[in-house]
Amino acid sequence: MDQFQDSSAERFCSKHAFRLPVGDKSDLVYWAADRSAATVPHHVAVLLDQCRTFKTLDAHAVNCANEFKRRGAGAHSPGIESIKKHLSALAEAGLLISENAVLEVCRQQAHPTPPKIATVGVITRNRTESLGQCLTSFVDNSQRFKRDNDFVVMDDSEDPRIRAVNKELLQFIKRKQDVGISYAGREEKTLFASALIAEGDFDPELVNFALIDSDSYEFACGKNRNAFFLHTAGDPVFSADDDAVCRFAGPPECDVSQEQKPRGQPLTPMEFWFYPNRAEAIDSASFVDKDPLALHEQLLGSRLGDCLASFEDLDLLSPERPMSYHLRQLHSGRVLVTLSGMLGDSGMRVPPVYKVLSRASRLRLIRSKAEYLAAVSSREVLRVATRACLSNRTWFISTALAYDNRKLLPPFFPVLRGTDGIFSATLGRCFEDGYLADIPWAILHAPMQPRSYNVDAIAQSASVITMHSLVTACILSWQSWPGLTDSAERMRALGRHLVDIGSMKLRDFEEFAQVHLWREQSRTIANLEADLMDYEDPPDYWVSDLQNYLAMMRASLIKSDHVIPHDLRKNRRLEQARQLSQKLVTRFGRLLGEWPDIIEAARRLRARSERLACPV
């Protein structure tokens, strides 16, 4: 534990949203929680800026002193005791809010019972053996814990023979285990799309884009996930990819201090452990026989205040918004998605070596050359939160997670890889009161064929952009004042924004996208360079690799074709790829604009017992 932290001491956080200099050595400070403002001396505003997370006054004083020294204040830097006196005065004046006061407000509210997960869905494509292993493991678990949820399989296999074999497998599991299973392949999706179009008078091309037509794309998992949303509209649900197995492991007894991540700290909620192969990863794990749906139900659909009151050690991570905005969401904020960690295949396109990690994860990565080299090539990891976390971050992997599908959620980008990032970026822009929750349990992610990283993929990830990067940059370019509209209207407004971008002349569209891509890549470079500066005498093998990676990223930024997504270039001329990138942004914008109405139409169809998947 941090030597300057007393775990029993009161913790405080600044509640201001932002500050603006207004002259005469003073700043205007705005509190979003109660929409009030005041002018304070500049040195007070500077102190408030350093207290963005809940920590003890001792810890805040130490951090402030260190930050002032880092900025070069030198002999003029105030001492720790002097800073603490100032902070105590700010707490007395109500400019710092105590964590206990926040929790007391949360505890005074009624705590409704969290909703039960109604459906377990498996997303599959061309992997019958994996599908059988995955579904059987979840059926066994549900029956062991006496759950009454149903099961649905969304199948994106293009070959009708594979779909037929998959349905035969599901019929076998249904008979053997006496369980209800529904299924949707291309035929079922096509029938439902026709009913949906008739119900809402939607553009057939748009509905097909969301659900059916692959348009010769190599990967179109997003369509399957959209189909799952439409089938289960109105229910809390759990979704797993077909290469997940219902076995859960918790984090090891680890070297991660709880005080490394106090409520509100903008750090990754995930810790990594690295393994050279699947066998060692599994051997290292402590598997437990738990009901995974119950683990997700503890947080899924709950209000922010209820979560904070119910979980004493729950982290609230705030990478984008100050604590002031979260305090305003105590009663309206809700957990829309709950996420499992992963044991086994990382699901990441490039090794974690080239990602921003927590300090503890990074130290595990670089502590020996053998372990480091294994992590560069092996995709086998344990990636898990060490305790429950809430956040509004814009990145996750959708291998195993639960959704509160009782109300509106955004669609997934229908085609290509990286749709998880697009979904979470859309969620963050459209649902100002929506939160993600990480549970401290990792599901076994076990593709039948172990995967590994190769040097070409690493170099490629540094040198080119993908369609998901371009779409995400366009989504994040849209800003809306908090409270301006409800979520459905925000989604429609974001859709209009993307349609406007896609309606530009091609060169203007690419300039717009390029600028916002540069901004996102600049943040990545700055974060990785900060990682390099964070260690005394870091090992050469890591420093060299990361510096080379950053050099490739910097060199790629000014290439004339940098803005053309690499994953659209396969079997296409550059000009075709350029036009297609613009078309896809426009089509996704149109889909966002219609999606609230599409969901409502799916609800009406369900009320008449017309659902997308059919019982096998």
Do 51 and 90 fall into the same domain?
Answer: yes
With respect to residue 442, please indicate whether it lies within any of the assigned structural domains.
yes
- Distance between CA atoms of 60 and 554, rounded to whole angstroms? 36
CB of 598 within 8 A of CB of 429?
Answer: no
| 26-31: strand order across its sheet | 18-23, 26-31, 36-41
**Looking at per-residue confidence, does 310 or 41 come out higher?**
41
Do 269 and 385 fall into the same domain?
Answer: yes
DSSP 5: -
- Distance between CA atoms of 594 and 207, rounded to whole angstroms? 9
CB of 182 within 8 A of CB of 152?
Answer: yes
Beta strand 334-345 pairing with 434-445: parallel
- Distance between CA atoms of 363 and 378, rounded to whole angstroms? 18
C-alpha pair distances (Å), 458 with each of 192, 463, 563: 41, 9, 18
Place of tokens 């037509």: 213
- Distance between CA atoms of 424 and 126, rounded to whole angstroms? 26
Q: Collect all residues with Cβ–Cβ distance below 8 Å to 309 and sequence separation of at least 6.
A: 103, 106, 107, 109, 111
Per-residue pLDDT reduced to its tens digit, 222-277: 999 999 999 999 999 999 999 999 999 999 975 444 444 444 444 567 899 999 99
DSSP 303: B
**H helix or E strand, kind and range, residue 336:** strand 334-345
**H helix or E strand, kind and range, residue 376:** helix 369-377
Length of the chain: 616
pLDDT at site 546: 94
Per-residue pLDDT reduced to its tens digit, 8-61: 588 898 888 889 999 999 999 998 778 889 899 998 999 998 888 888 999 999
Do 241 and 206 fall into the same domain?
Answer: no
For residue 286, give both structure tokens. Answer: 């402590």
CB of 69 within 8 A of CB of 16?
Answer: no
Q: Which of 570, 526, 614, 563 is nearest to 155 (CA)?
A: 614
- Distance between CA atoms of 594 and 586, rounded to whole angstroms? 13
- Distance between CA atoms of 48 and 33, rounded to whole angstroms? 15
Gap between the terminal Cα atoms of the chain: 54
Do 56 and 188 fall into the same domain?
Answer: no
φ/ψ of 254, rounded to 5, equals -125, 175
- Distance between CA atoms of 349 and 277, rounded to whole angstroms? 17
C-alpha pair distances (Å), 474 with each of 5, 411, 482, 484, 493: 41, 16, 19, 20, 13
- Distance between CA atoms of 345 and 276, rounded to whole angstroms? 11
Do 249 and 192 fall into the same domain?
Answer: no
Res. 510: pLDDT tops 50? yes
With respect to residue 183, please indicate whether it lies within any of the assigned structural domains.
yes
With respect to residue 112, please indicate whether it lies within any of the assigned structural domains.
no
- Distance between CA atoms of 414 and 402, rounded to whole angstroms? 19
Mean residue pLDDT of the chain comes to 90
Do 259 and 368 fall into the same domain?
Answer: yes
With respect to residue 616, please indicate whether it lies within any of the assigned structural domains.
no
Do 149 and 283 fall into the same domain?
Answer: no
Q: Which of 225, 259, 284 is the last residue of a domain?
A: 225
- Distance between CA atoms of 157 and 218, rounded to whole angstroms? 12
Res. 4: pLDDT tops 50? no
Do 331 and 308 fall into the same domain?
Answer: yes
Other beta carbons within 10 angstroms of residue 127's beta carbon come to 20
Q: Which of 169, 192, 225 is the last residue of a domain?
A: 225
pLDDT at site 577: 96
- Distance between CA atoms of 503 and 524, rounded to whole angstroms? 29
What CATH number does residue 82 fall under?
A: 3.90.930.60
Say how many domains are in the chain.
Answer: 3
With respect to residue 612, please indicate whether it lies within any of the assigned structural domains.
no
Please spell the DSSP secondary structure of 7-46, one letter per residue.
Answer: TTS-EEEE---EEEEEETTEEEEEETTTTEEEEEEHHHHH
With respect to residue 48, please indicate whether it lies within any of the assigned structural domains.
yes
**Structural domain span for residue 179:** 119-225
Do 124 and 162 fall into the same domain?
Answer: yes
pLDDT at site 320: 61
Per-residue pLDDT reduced to its tens digit, 338-373: 999 999 999 998 898 898 888 889 999 999 999 999
- Distance between CA atoms of 170 and 228, rounded to whole angstroms? 17
CB of 10 within 8 A of CB of 99?
Answer: yes
pLDDT at site 481: 75
Judged by DSSP in three states, 252 sits in coil
Please spell the DSSP secondary structure of 424-452, one letter per residue.
Answer: HHHHHHH-TTEEEEEEEEEEEE--SS--B
For residue 14, give both structure tokens. Answer: 């600044």
C-alpha pair distances (Å), 256 with each of 271, 360, 542: 8, 6, 22
Per-residue pLDDT reduced to its tens digit, 529-538: 988 988 889 9
Q: Which of 195, 225, 255 is the last residue of a domain?
A: 225
Res. 472: pLDDT tops 70? yes
For residue 573, give both structure tokens. Answer: 């001329």
Q: Collect all residues with Cβ–Cβ distance below 8 Å to 466 and sequence separation of at least 6.
A: 416, 417, 418, 565, 566, 567
Mean pLDDT of 92-100: 89
What share of the chain in percent tops pLDDT 90? 70
Q: Which of 382, 163, 136, 161 is nearest to 242 (CA)?
A: 136
With respect to residue 107, please indicate whether it lies within any of the assigned structural domains.
no
Do 180 and 316 fall into the same domain?
Answer: no
For residue 271, give both structure tokens. Answer: 């810790």
The half-sphere exposure of 157 on its side-chain side, counting CA atoms within 13 A, is: 21
CB of 415 within 8 A of CB of 590?
Answer: no
With respect to residue 32, please indicate whether it lies within any of the assigned structural domains.
yes
Beta strand 380-385 pairing with 150-155: unpaired
pLDDT at site 377: 92
Do 78 and 134 fall into the same domain?
Answer: no
Do 299 and 311 fall into the same domain?
Answer: yes
**Looking at per-residue confidence, does 454 or 85 come out higher?**
85
DSSP 482: T
